[in-house]
A and B are shown apart, each in its own frame.
Chain A
Amino acid sequence: TQLLEQSPQFLSIQEGENLTVYCNSSSVFSSLQWYRQEPGEGPVLLVTVVTGGEVKKLKRLTFQFGDARKDSSLHITAAQPGDTGLYLCAPRRGSYIPTFGRGTSLIVHP
């Protein structure tokens, strides 16, 4: 059962553009993680957000956890070709059983 909605499903942009991807659910989560998966590789953890309204920055990436802890967003400023990949959100409720959304597939063209 798919509990999460990640949007958009696909995104193709030019280098230098800004973008935002979303992870939404009707459930409340204790925390949420974002992973990036490059072609031919496994996902790699980018960040964990825990507190409602929390904002974390990782260079040009800004992650926000919704106030009600039901949703999250990832904003990339001045995207680079190296940002290309599949962005997955992985929320957690209580016990630690990692589940993932379907992801947003991002392509950044030089």
Chain B
Amino acid sequence: DAGVIQSPRHEVTEMGQEVTLRCKPISGHNSLFWYRQTMMRGLELLIYFNNNVPIDDSGMPEDRFSAKMPNASFSTLKIQPSEPRDSAVYFCATDGGQGAEKLFFGSGTQLSVL
């Protein structure tokens, strides 16, 4: 298995532009998590899905952020409009569920908003 695949690995954009981050989970994993990592705040949970349904989005910083999981093999995190303070590494992680309780992380997307 190729593991959790995120794209792009790096994204540089200008303030005000729309940014879309993509994640392909491990096949068969039922839960998907989006995290954001910064030096100041560490690894923060933004939102998580179970069986493609958003369960908890309380970590999403504001309305500029949205996430979707249209099917079991794909998820997106969108920021519109982007701001410099959104610069961070964004991780997608999945878990097999049913008590597996082991997160598998992608390699992350390094986002820089100028």
Binding site for B on A (CB under 8 A): 2, 31, 33, 35, 40-45, 48, 88, 90, 92, 96-103
Contact = CB atoms under 8 A, between A and B. Distances in A.
A45 B45 CA distance: 17
A-B CB proximity, top 8 nearest:
A42-B105, A102-B42, A100-B43, A42-B91, A45-B102, A43-B105, A41-B107, A42-B106
Interface residues of B, number: 19
B33 interface: yes
A97 B93 contact: no
A90 to B, nearest CB: 8
B49 interface: no
Contacts of A2: 42
B103 interface: yes
Contacts of A48: 101-102
Main secondary structure of the interface of B (DSSP, over half): strand
A40 B93 CA distance: 15
Main secondary structure of the interface of A (DSSP, over half): loop
A48 B102 CA distance: 9
B108 interface: yes
A97 B43 contact: no
Nearest to B6: A42
Contacts of B45: 97-99
B56 interface: yes
Q: Name the residue in A42, A92, A99, A100 with the highest tally of chain B Cβ atoms < 10 Å from its Cβ.
A: A42
